[in-house]
């Protein structure tokens, strides 16, 4: 298994480099798209600035993950490995801060701007409806005012026949009742006239809102559409202000307060004390009726005025990167894709760490004969020859000691030396044959060098 793992690591080195280059290039391209909308200046300056930044990002990502893939799998002690993992975590955070949010801006910037415009449309739509409803509530006071005017007019007609004072004709009471009916009638016409202004303002606001919806859901580049959307939002804000000012409720309250506080009882013009007394009595009752009617109208106007007027937040044009950050929770898939482009090499680093750890547990050498350096190969050859010489020395027999043989007697002819059996001497150690060298080198996991 160790050999298969070692061969797999060696064969996938090129694949890992190509994969890392492609990921770094992709991150650089999306970084260029994202950073281009953040820069101001001439088109040439923006182009070169964005290119330089994106190239720096690509080079940085490639260099960082190359260092991690080269060194981290070979670090064995726990302290050094913890430091390397800490460096990898710090580098990953820096990569996310440097380009991942720009990648997300490139992937989802237009959609985030449209999301921003959609939120603004919801706010302005709510403001238009609520302010229009408040203005229509003020129009609801018109029937009450018209009914009060009609009641005073009927009392004036009744007084002409003597129903109130018992005296026919148009005297003080008739004049007072007619005056009150006329004032309330004028106020009723003013309230009705304000309805036309409210309707006109609402129709104009609806047109601006429809234009904003078309811009938010239209096609083409999002930046020009966002600028036009801002103009429509500003115009709609002016319409909302005019719609709030078109409410007649404050005018109704002021008029109702003036009816009660500004009431002046006319002098009785009766020809006899009895008629004067009846006229004063009727005028007093009319004054009480006016005060009650004034209180009722003021209370109704207060309820309309107390209705909350919804003011939408001011629309501000933002960049795609800022929109992606503001509405990040709505674009989680885009964020995940942008971050994965930058941090996918971390998975490759972990895989290499696992594979090299398995190789170390197997106890197999990390390098083969075809990956050894020239110095390592020469050292291995010297070691093999030293082992062969030591093995030959152990096989050589001991030479007989001739000095220990017995001497011949004096005067006797030396006897013919007995022919001693010749010991089988081993062959003189010499360089092993080529085939033996090949066998020895293969036994040590080495390959012989080729000779010229």
Q: Which of 40-44, 196-200, 311-315 has the lowest mean pLDDT?
A: 311-315
3-state SS, the chain, equals: CHHHHHHHHHHCHHHHHHHHHHHHHHHHHHHHHHHHCCCCCCHHHHHHHHHHHHHHHHHHHHHHHHHHHHHHHHCCCHHHHHHHHHHHHHHHHHHHHHHHHHHHHHHHHHHHHHHHHHHHHHHHHHHHHHHHHHHHHHHCHHHHHHHHHHHHHHHHHHHHCCCCCCCCCCCHHHHHHHHHHHHHHHHHHHHHHHHHHHHHHHHHHHHHHHHHHHHHCCCCCHHHHHHHHHHHHHHHHHHHHHHHHCCCHHHHHHHHHHHHHCCCCCCCCCCCHHHHHHHHHHHHHHHHHHHHHHHHHHHHHHHHHHCCCCCCCCCCCCCHHHHHHHCHHHCHHHHHHHHHHHHCHHHHHHHHHHHHHHHHHHCCCCCCHHHCCHHHHHHHHHHHHHHHHHHHHHHCCCCCCHHHCCCCCCCCCCCCCCCCCCCCCCCCCCCCCHHHHHHHHHHCCCCCCCCC
Q: How many CB atoms lie within 10 A of CB 309?
A: 14
Q: How far apart are CA 36 and CA 41, in angstroms?
A: 11
277 — pLDDT class (breaks 50, 70, 90): low
Return all residues near 302 (Cβ < 8 A) that are at least 6 apart: 253
Residues 120 and 239 placed together within one structural domain of the fold: yes
pLDDT of residue 448: 47
Q: Is 172's pLDDT higher than 80? A: no
Mean pLDDT, residues 240-248: 80
pLDDT of residue 1: 63
Residues 255 and 215 placed together within one structural domain of the fold: yes
Assigned domain for 452 exists: no
State the residue range of the domain holding 344. 2-74+331-362
- Predicted confidence (pLDDT) per residue in 40-81, tens digit: 888 889 899 999 999 999 999 999 999 999 899 888 888 998
pLDDT of residue 262: 52
First-last CA distance in the chain: 36
Higher pLDDT, 14 or 362: 14
Residues 146 and 168 placed together within one structural domain of the fold: yes
Return all residues near 76 (Cβ < 8 A) that are at least 6 apart: 360
Q: How many CB atoms lie within 10 A of CB 422?
A: 6
Residues 34 and 151 placed together within one structural domain of the fold: no
Assigned domain for 183 exists: yes
Q: Is 96's pLDDT higher than 80? A: yes
Assigned domain for 419 exists: no
pLDDT of residue 367: 53
Assigned domain for 409 exists: no
Residues 302 and 169 placed together within one structural domain of the fold: yes
95 — pLDDT class (breaks 50, 70, 90): very high
Residues 53 and 155 placed together within one structural domain of the fold: no
| Cβ proximity of 16 and 348 under 8 Å | yes
Residues 309 and 343 placed together within one structural domain of the fold: no
Q: What average pLDDT does the structure give for the chain?
A: 77
Q: Is 419's pLDDT higher than 50? A: no
Mean pLDDT, residues 135-150: 78
Q: Which of 295-309, 337-351, 423-437 has the lowest mean pLDDT?
A: 423-437
Return all residues near 141 (Cβ < 8 A) that are at least 6 apart: 191, 248, 249, 252, 297, 300, 301, 304
Q: Is 388's pLDDT higher than 70? A: yes
Mean pLDDT, residues 223-241: 88
Residues 285 and 358 placed together within one structural domain of the fold: no
Higher pLDDT, 272 or 351: 351
Residue where one domain finishes, among candidates 287, 318, 349? 318
Q: How far apart are CA 48 and CA 417, in angstroms?
A: 105
Higher pLDDT, 1 or 373: 373
Higher pLDDT, 287 or 196: 196
Residues 168 and 251 placed together within one structural domain of the fold: yes
Mean pLDDT, residues 368-395: 77
Mean pLDDT, residues 316-332: 87
Residues 62 and 138 placed together within one structural domain of the fold: no
167 — pLDDT class (breaks 50, 70, 90): low
| Cβ proximity of 103 and 331 under 8 Å | no
pLDDT of residue 49: 92
pLDDT of residue 276: 62
274 — pLDDT class (breaks 50, 70, 90): low
Q: Is 266's pLDDT higher than 70? A: no
Assigned domain for 408 exists: no
Q: What is the number of structural domains in the chain?
A: 2
Q: How far apart are CA 280 and CA 386, in angstroms?
A: 145
Residues 248 and 337 placed together within one structural domain of the fold: no
Higher pLDDT, 163 or 429: 163
Assigned domain for 404 exists: no
Residue where one domain finishes, among candidates 288, 318, 348? 318
Mean pLDDT, residues 395-416: 50
Looking at the chain, the whole-number percentage of residues with pLDDT higher than 90 is 17
Higher pLDDT, 138 or 407: 138
Q: How far apart are CA 62 and CA 16, in angstroms?
A: 11
Residue with tokens 């050292």: 379
Residues 286 and 142 placed together within one structural domain of the fold: yes
Mean pLDDT, residues 122-134: 87
Assigned domain for 396 exists: no
Assigned domain for 438 exists: no
Residue where one domain finishes, among candidates 291, 318, 345? 318
Question: For residue 452, how far is the Cα from the chain centroid?
Answer: 67
Residue with tokens 């012989």: 448
């Amino acid at each position: 298994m160790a050999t298969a793992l070692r061969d797999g690591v060696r064969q996938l080195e090129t694949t890992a480099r190509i994969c890392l280059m492609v990921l770094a290039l992709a991150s650089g391209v999306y970084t260029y798209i994202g950073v281009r909308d953040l820069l101001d200046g001439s088109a040439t300056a923006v182009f070169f600035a964005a290119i330089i930044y994106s190239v720096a990002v690509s080079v940085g990502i490639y260099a960082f993950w190359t260092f991690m893939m080269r060194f981290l799998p070979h670090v064995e002690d726990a302290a050094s490995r913890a430091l390397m993992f800490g460096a990898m975590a710090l580098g990953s955070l820096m990569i996310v801060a440097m380009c991942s949010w720009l990648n997300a801006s490139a992937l989802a910037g237009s959609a985030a701007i449209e999301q921003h415009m959609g939120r603004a449309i919801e706010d302005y739509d709510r403001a238009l409806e609520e302010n229009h409803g408040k203005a229509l509530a003020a129009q609801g006071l018109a029937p009450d005012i018209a009914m009060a005017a009609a009641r005073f007019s009927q009392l004036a007609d009744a007084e002409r026949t003597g129903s109130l004072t018992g005296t026919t004709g148009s005297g003080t009471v008739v004049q007072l009742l007619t005056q009150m009916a006329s004032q309330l009638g004028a106020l009723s016409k003013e309230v009705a006239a304000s309805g036309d202004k409210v309707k006109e303002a609402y129709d104009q606001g609806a047109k601006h809102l429809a234009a904003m919806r078309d811009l938010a859901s239209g096609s083409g580049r999002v930046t020009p559409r966002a600028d036009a959307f801002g103009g429509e939002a500003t115009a709609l804000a002016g319409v909302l202000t005019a719609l709030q000012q078109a409410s007649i409720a404050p005018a109704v309250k002021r008029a109702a307060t003036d009816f009660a506080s500004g009431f002046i009882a006319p002098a009785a013009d009766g020809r006899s004390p009895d008629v004067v007394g009846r006229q004063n009595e009727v005028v007093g009752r009319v004054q009480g009726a006016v005060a009650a009617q004034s209180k009722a109208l003021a209370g109704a106007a207060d309820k309309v005025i107390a209705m909350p007027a919804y003011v939408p937040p001011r629309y501000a044009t933002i960049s795609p990167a800022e929109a992606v950050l503001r509405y990040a929770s709505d674009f989680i898939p885009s964020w995940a894709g942008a971050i994965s482009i930058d941090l996918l090499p971390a998975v490759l680093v972990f895989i290499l760490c696992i594979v090299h750890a398995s190789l170390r547990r197997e106890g197999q050498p990390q390098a083969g004969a075809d990956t050894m350096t020239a110095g390592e190969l020469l050292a291995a050859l010297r070691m093999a020859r030293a082992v062969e010489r030591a093995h030959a020395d152990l096989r050589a027999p001991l030479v007989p000691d001739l000095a220990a043989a017995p001497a011949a007697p004096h005067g006797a002819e030396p006897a013919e030396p007995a022919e001693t059996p010749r010991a089988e001497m081993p062959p003189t150690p010499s360089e092993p044959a080529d085939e033996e060298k090949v066998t020895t080198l293969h036994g040590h996991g080495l390959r012989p060098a080729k000779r010229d």
